[in-house]
Amino acid sequence: MARVYVSIGSNVGRRDNIRSAIASLRGQFGELMLSPVYESAAIGFPGDHFYNLVVGLSTDLDPHGLRTRLAAIESQHGRTPDTPRYAPRPLDLDILLYDDLVIRDNGLDLPRKDITRYAFVLRPLADIAGEVMHPLEGRRLRELWADFDKSGQALAPVPHEDLLGPSAGASEPRA
């Protein structure tokens, strides 16, 4: 089984959509590792703040099959295929890492370039996969986060209980 990390983001109905997306992912992939949740400003367009987190999961699906499955979950939450990249969205699910694969074809971008570009992607990923090596950078994710220029990309922690309910802490990473 492949170890995969998927980012989850929402700025439209964010609380309900993230809760529902996590339930969908659990239903399809079983146990998930959940990062802390962070609130961040929209980047590239004016809009409500996003909630962002990363989940770790295991799957037998290949990267293309997983991408198709995630797109179906997005669609169930009201996202359409023609949603612009920089626009409000009810749900955004992106494969960040799929084992140590490097793929740049057919719309797949692994490892996802956003890992090294955005605090709202790297921080929660480093929180749950800090010892994982970035396949292209050759550095651990925690090291990439430590050296990341955090100016201009403020993140505010959102307690899991506020977003997911009191039982959410059971899936949080332990330090």
What SS3 string covers the chain?
CEEEEEEEEECCCHHHHHHHHHHHHHHHHCCCEECCEEEECCCCCCCCCEEEEEEEEEECCCHHHHHHHHHHHHHHCCCCCCCCCCCCCCCEEEEEEECCCCEEECCEEECCHHHHCCHHHHHHHHHHHCCCECCCCCCEHHHHHHHCCCCCCCCEEECHHHHHCHHHHHHCCCC
Catalytic residue from among 19, 26, 69, 79: 79
Annotated catalytic residue 109: no
Please confirm, yes or no, whether 94 is among the known catalytic residues.
yes
User: Per the residue annotation, which of 3, 82, 85, 94 is the catalytic one?
Assistant: 94
| Annotated catalytic residue within 14, 89, 112, 123 | 89
From the list 92, 112, 123, 127, the catalytic residue is: 92
89 catalytically annotated:
yes
Q: How far apart are CA 72 and CA 88, in angstroms?
A: 18
Q: Which of 137, 146, 51 is nearest to 97 (CA)?
A: 137
Q: Would you please indicate which residues are annotated as catalytic (active-site) residues?
A: 79, 89, 92, 94
